Copies of this chain bind each other. A is one copy, B any other.
Amino acid sequence: MALAHTTHQTDPMTETESIEYDVVVLGAGPVGENVADRTRAAGLSTAVVESELVGGECSYWACMPSKALLRPVIARADARRVPGLRRSVRGPLDAPEVLAHRDEYTSHWQDDGQVRWLDGIGADLHRGHGRLSGARTVTVTGADGERRVLTARHAVAVCTGSRALLPDLPGLADVGPWTSREATSAQTVPGRLVVVGGGVVAAEMATAWQALGAQVTVLVRGKGLLGRMEPFAGELVAEALEEAGADVRTGTSVESVSRENGTVVVVTGAGDRVEADEILFATGRAPRTDDIGLDTVGLAPGSWLDVDDSLRVTGHDWLYAVGDVNRRALLTHQGKYQARIAGAAIAARATGETLRAQAWGAHAATADHAAVPQVVFTDPEAAAVGLSLAEAEQAGHRVRAVDVDLSSVAGAGLYGDGYRGRARMVVDVEDEILRGVTFVGPGVGELIHSATVAVAGRVPVSRLWHAVPSYPTISEVWLRLLEAYRDN
């Protein structure tokens, strides 16, 4: 189908094949796949270029394997808090079975299924390293060194994502450090694991490997875990990690790392020595834009790409940057959201359709500014959408925050004995619209979408009183939040 709209040429001098498409997508992760899905649905011929596995980081080295590792941990913790059940849950997790299941969920790092999907939507897959080579042009170099030039009548979408950023420590490469890739794909459980960092990857991987049998030490430079969420999120997760047997050290930097007779030796800024079998650096992400030919179109290699709300790169009417590369929100689901919007915007511009670029329009990724959700799959789960109180205040909004202890909610106590959790709602006092909501506690992962609908839907507090939570669910925390806002 796609070929109906493409034009093939071969340069007789260089024997370089040249193919013209409506759209060329760089990167076949979930973001690139979703851009292609939307441009194909609009009837635009679309090429997708991928140098590794179709399906991207998320399918093989991030969301999917990490959640396959974490779900058993969370389910076991939940079960052990339930009267009548807790004593029948015996022994630790079956780590080999968990790892085998994780392998299945990553299709054993084979992308046949995803390739079939791309084929099914009628996009052309070009395997190889894609680099911009001037406006509207991508040159693909295959594994065999063969080159093909793809030109785009309408748009090129950069969806190459991000990679783990390692700190600049002497000799680090010799240590063989784990990044998120190794942490999600390791085939055996290390005896001792040091996790450097305090963000989502650090918190989730510390939770998973500690439960799978490793002795985990977390070294956090800052004051606590999950620093971008409300402070109580990191506090509750750190508390639970310690109770699970992990050693969480905040305010701790890494001075040096080496491997001595197979053992990793970390020396902290305070001079403490920590030994381990493996070390994971979860210390940030860098855009995968260093070798995609950005210089050929006047952009700086290795930079994050600035875009407008249609995901179009500033100053280039044919170039889009979607997902992690634009640094708006480094989350698969938010990248997929951007992809749907970018694909629709590319299609609208290509066909002369009116662009609906107003806030919350079909061609504006407005939620990126106001309603980005995130669920951290730890025990307890931590989930948030929109702005934290600190972020809202920093943005100059006039807000009031109310907190509720989740253990006061009947549905929470029923969910698990000794339930510990907390919720916060940040309300803009000008129009009584929610700026942000955070839930931390067992079983709150599916709860956050109610807040996402409220925030993105701009449902005011007065109407939320009519959104009745079922008794007795944990969702009744909404009543407590509304009461706290009303009464305080």
Contact B449 A67 (CB under 8 A): no
The minimal Cβ–Cβ distance linking A65 to chain B, given in whole angstroms, is 10
A470-B449 in contact given A79-B75, A85-B76 (Cβ < 8 Å): yes
A372 within 8 Å of B by Cβ? yes
Contact B456 A457 (CB under 8 A): no
A276 within 8 Å of B by Cβ? no
The minimal Cβ–Cβ distance linking A121 to chain B, given in whole angstroms, is 12
Contacts of A478 in B (CB 8 A): 449
A473 within 8 Å of B by Cβ? yes
Measured in the bound complex, the distance between the Cα atoms of B294 and A311 in whole Å is 66
Contact A374 B470 (CB under 8 A): yes
A395 within 8 Å of B by Cβ? no
Contacts of A414 in B (CB 8 A): 64, 67-68, 71, 105
Measured in the bound complex, the distance between the Cα atoms of B58 and A446 in whole Å is 25
A462 within 8 Å of B by Cβ? yes
Interface centre among A63, A92, A467 (most CB of B within 10 A): A467
Contacts of A411 in B (CB 8 A): 67
CB < 8 Å: which of B78, B360, B373, B457 contacts A75?
B78
- Contact bitstring A362-390, B, C-beta under 8 A = 1, else 0: 10001100011111000000010000000
Contact B463 A457 (CB under 8 A): yes
Bin the interface of chain A by size: 35 or more
Contact A453 B444 (CB under 8 A): no
Contact B84 A88 (CB under 8 A): no
Contact A67 B462 (CB under 8 A): no
A447 within 8 Å of B by Cβ? yes
Oligomeric state, in number of copies? 2
Contacts of A89 in B (CB 8 A): 79, 85, 88-89
- Contact bitstring A416-429, B, C-beta under 8 A = 1, else 0: 01000000000000
Contacts of A27 in B (CB 8 A): none
Measured in the bound complex, the distance between the Cα atoms of B98 and A95 in whole Å is 29
Measured in the bound complex, the distance between the Cα atoms of B95 and A98 in whole Å is 29
Contacts of A340 in B (CB 8 A): 465
| A residues whose Cβ falls under 8 Å from a Cβ of B | 30, 58, 63-64, 67-68, 71-72, 75-76, 78-79, 82-85, 87-95, 97-98, 100-101, 105, 331-334, 336-337, 340, 360, 362, 366-367, 371-375, 383, 410-411, 414-415, 417, 443-450, 452-457, 459, 462-476, 478
Between-chain CB contacts (< 8 Å), 21 pairs: A30-B471, A72-B82, A76-B79, A78-B78, A78-B79, A83-B97, A83-B101, A88-B93, A90-B90, A333-B469, A367-B468, A371-B467, A373-B468, A446-B447, A446-B474, A447-B449, A448-B470, A449-B467, A449-B469, A453-B453, A453-B464
Extra contacts, 14 of them, besides A79-B79, A331-B470 (Cβ < 8 A), are A72-B82, A72-B83, A72-B84, A78-B79, A83-B97, A83-B101, A333-B470, A336-B468, A337-B468, A360-B466, A362-B462, A375-B473, A449-B450, A456-B459
Across chains A and B, which 4 residue pairs bring their CB atoms closest together, nearest first?
A: A84-B98, A457-B459, A83-B101, A333-B471
